[in-house]
Amino acid sequence: MFADEPPENLVLPGDTLPIPLPAPTAKGAAMKVGPGLAHIPPDTIIPVIAGELNVDEKKRMIWVESDGKRYTPHLHDPVIAIINRSSSDFYHCTIPHSRSTTALLPHLAFENATKKTRPQLNPGCVVYARISLASKHMDPELECFDAATSKAGGFGELKGGMLFDVSLGMARRLLGDGKKLRQLKIRQGLVRAEGETGKKVKGAMCSGLEVVEELGQRLGFEIAVGRNGKVWVDSEDVRTTLCCGRCIVESEFLTGEEQRRLVREKIKEFGL
Amino acid sequence: MPREPEYSNNEKAFVLEAIQQGLRVDGRQLDEFRKVDISFGEEFGLTDIKLGRTRVIVRVSAEVTKPYPDQPFEGIFSITTELGPMASPAFEVGRSTEQEVLLARLIEKAIRRSNAIDQESLCIVAGQKCWSVRADVHFLDHDGALVDASCIAVVAALTHFRRPDVSVEGEKVTIHTLTERVPVPLSILHLPICVCQISKAGGMAIEAVILMSCATQALLVVRQVTELLMNKLEEDQEKRVRRDNLLKASAENVRRA
């Protein structure tokens, strides 16, 4: 994401914020203080992690974008977890790259699951799940369906394929935060959109998804990204899966154009 | 308590299948060594090694102490390793796992017990004063191959390290500061770079022929790594000379054959 130049609003823990807080639009309107920031009453906000400070004036949000390797569970995050064992009502899972030991996945938290029809998962199975409970003092809980619609919505057991490790920032980017961030920057005039000519404008950010777009045009594969820094890829053969996985892992610090080139080279290398 | 993450069935099956097709998950050849990257710090004896995604920093320091009473003519050399939670969430502070003990013993065996460093040269006044050289190994990122990485790192740091020069007049020992006299390198007898140390504690029997072919391959890798290390050391030396505006001063005596 920062391939072109260092971010402008770099903050370190304990810094005073380099930019003024977004002005209140209406009286009593709340402001959202996102990850990486701590609120010290009455009106001080300090960063608690190092990263790039982002402000969205429109939505009145402020947060720090940073990269790391340890995942802290947050509500509604999609994660890739591994089943450890099963007890009477729960599957006990591990969320890779996270500090907490186990996460609980209720047997009934699947689409159309009843006592009799619940999926039988063995230790070592991989599931794509969403965090339904995240608290500082308790083990997180997972669910494999949308509680409102009781549809799976893409969650569930991941069969076959391979897991690849990426950094947390990369995982967020793959899940589409990069695109949002880029739109925000364009709106703020920090970067200009890539011109219609396709020529790269200085400072233009890539969404970070170029690698997946390019792969999607050339190969057929399935992908699931967990916010905990795991990417699951599956395709019809080992070679394709490996090629996709390698491309994604290696594209972390590349610009959009470089990512596309990397994909083309890799595909040639794997002889696909 | 955090544990080493267990691999899922999917990963196990995939890795096995890929290996059957001659592919490795990280894109290397089947018998290819990881990419080694060595860099040195500002001070002498600070080395940063990257071996693939594993990263190790070694700091070598020296102080003057009293030698052990049973070895009055030898200096002290110790290696400390600690696997902290920075390397992997599976490691905890203050709780040494079996893996950690094994690792420390392996490094110890490879470097200290192979007499890589001439401990007698660390003696200043017999029975009274000697150098105590200490190598602190810090694991910053754990992605396997910790033994290889730490061995290369310790050897690199030891060769890079310079201790202050000492002069002895009768009972009086003077330690010259680094600016006063050119610091002297440690006398290192050989470079034990351990790529494929054979540590077999039980398990299946290995055929001698396979063992030999592994050893030949390891030799090639060791040569490459040694060459890289030497190049990097030279580079660093040149950089220092340029930076400090030094003449190529040397405290070594001219040796005649």
Low-confidence spans in chain B with pLDDT less than 70: 1-5, 95-96, 192-206, 244-257
Query: Which one of B7, B9, B18 has the shortest CB-CB distance to A238?
Result: B18
Within 10 Å of residue A31's Cβ, how many Cβ atoms? 16
Position A3 pLDDT exceeds 50: no
Q: Measuring CA to CA, which residue among B112, B133, B125, B134 is closest to residue B72? A: B125
Q: Strand, coil or helix: what is A225?
A: strand
**In the prediction, which pLDDT does B4 show?**
60
Whose tokens are 């690849």? That residue is: A164
How many interchain CB pairs under 8 A, A with B?
A: 59
What's the whole-number average pLDDT of chain B? 80
Q: Give per-residue pLDDT as tens, A223-240.
A: 999 998 899 999 988 889
Q: Give per-residue pLDDT as tens, A115-167.
A: 888 888 989 899 999 999 888 888 899 999 887 787 888 888 998 889 998 88
B5·A94 Cβ contact <8 A: yes
Confidence of residue A202 (pLDDT cuts 50, 70, 90): very low
User: What is the tally of helices (H) and strands (E) in chain A?
Assistant: 5, 15
Give the residue numbers in A contacting B (CB under 8 Å), as ranges: 70, 82, 84, 94, 96-99, 101, 122, 124-126, 158-163, 232, 238-239, 241-242, 245-246
Could you please state the CATH topology (level 3) that the domain comprising B32-244 is classified under: Ribosomal Protein S5; domain 2 (3.30.230)
Share of chain A above pLDDT 90, in %: 17
The helix (run of H) or strand (run of E) holding residue A165 is strand A162-165
Could you please state the CATH topology (level 3) that the domain comprising A10-65 is classified under: OB fold (Dihydrolipoamide Acetyltransferase, E2P) (2.40.50)
Give the residue numbers in B contacting A (CB under 8 Å), as ranges: 1-3, 5-15, 17-18, 21, 23, 25, 27, 89
The helix (run of H) or strand (run of E) holding residue B158 is helix B146-160
Residue B149 is which amino acid?
A
Within 10 Å of residue B106's Cβ, how many Cβ atoms? 18
What's the whole-number average pLDDT of chain A? 81
Q: Which residues of A are less than 8 Å from B2 in CB distance?
A: 99, 101
The correct answer on CATH 3.30.390.50 for the domain covering A163-269 is: no
Position A203 pLDDT exceeds 60: no
Q: Which of A4-13, A166-175, B25-34 has the lowest mean pLDDT?
A: A4-13
* B56 Cβ contact list (under 8 Å, min separation 6): B48, B49, B137, B138, B139, B140, B146, B149, B150, B153
| Distances A7 to A10, A53, A187, B113, B161 between C-alpha atoms, Å | 6, 9, 16, 50, 37
**In the prediction, which pLDDT does A127 show?**
92
On the 0-12 / 13-18 / 19+ scale of CB atoms within 10 A, B141 is middle
Q: What residues does B163 pair with on adjacent strands? A: B184
Domain positions in chain B are 32-244
Share of chain A above pLDDT 70, in %: 83
**Higher-scoring residue by pLDDT: A108, B4:** A108
Closest chain A residue to B24 measured between Cα atoms? A242
Closest chain A residue to B2 measured between Cα atoms? A101
Select the residue from B1, B7, B8, B9 to test the A interface by mutation, using most A Cβ atoms within 10 A.
B8
Dihedral of CA A31/A33/A39/A44: which sign?
A: negative
Domain positions in chain A are 10-65, 78-159, 163-269
**Higher-scoring residue by pLDDT: A16, A6:** A16
Position A53 pLDDT exceeds 80: yes
Instruction: Tell me whether domains A78-159 and A163-269 share a fold.
Output: no
Q: Are A88 and A82 in contact (CB under 8 A)?
A: no
Q: Give per-residue pLDDT as tens, A85-100.
A: 899 899 999 888 887 7
Q: Which CATH homologous superfamily contains domain A78-159?
A: Nucleic acid-binding proteins (2.40.50.140)
**In the prediction, which pLDDT does B59 show?**
92
Q: Which residues of B are less than 8 Å from A239 in CB distance?
A: 21, 23
Q: Give per-residue pLDDT as tens, B124-134.
A: 888 888 889 89
Q: How many alpha carbons fall within 13 Å on the CB side of residue A21? A: 17
Q: Give per-residue pLDDT as tens, B160-205.
A: 888 888 888 877 888 888 777 778 888 777 776 665 555 555 566 6
Nearest C-alpha of chain A: how many angstroms from B86?
A: 10
Position A22 pLDDT exceeds 60: yes
Q: Which residues of B16-94 form beta strands (DSSP E)?
A: 36-40, 46-51, 54-65, 76-82
Closest chain A residue to B16 measured between Cα atoms? A238
CA distance A61 to A155: 29
Q: Which residues of B are less than 8 Å from A97 in CB distance?
A: 5, 89
Percent helix / strand / coil, chain A, rounded to 5: 20, 25, 55
Q: Measuring CA to CA, which residue among A227, A232, A271 is closest to residue A248? A: A232
B9·A163 Cβ contact <8 A: no
Q: Are A272 and A198 in contact (CB under 8 A)?
A: no
Q: Which residues of A are less than 8 Å from B14 in CB distance?
A: 160-162, 238, 241
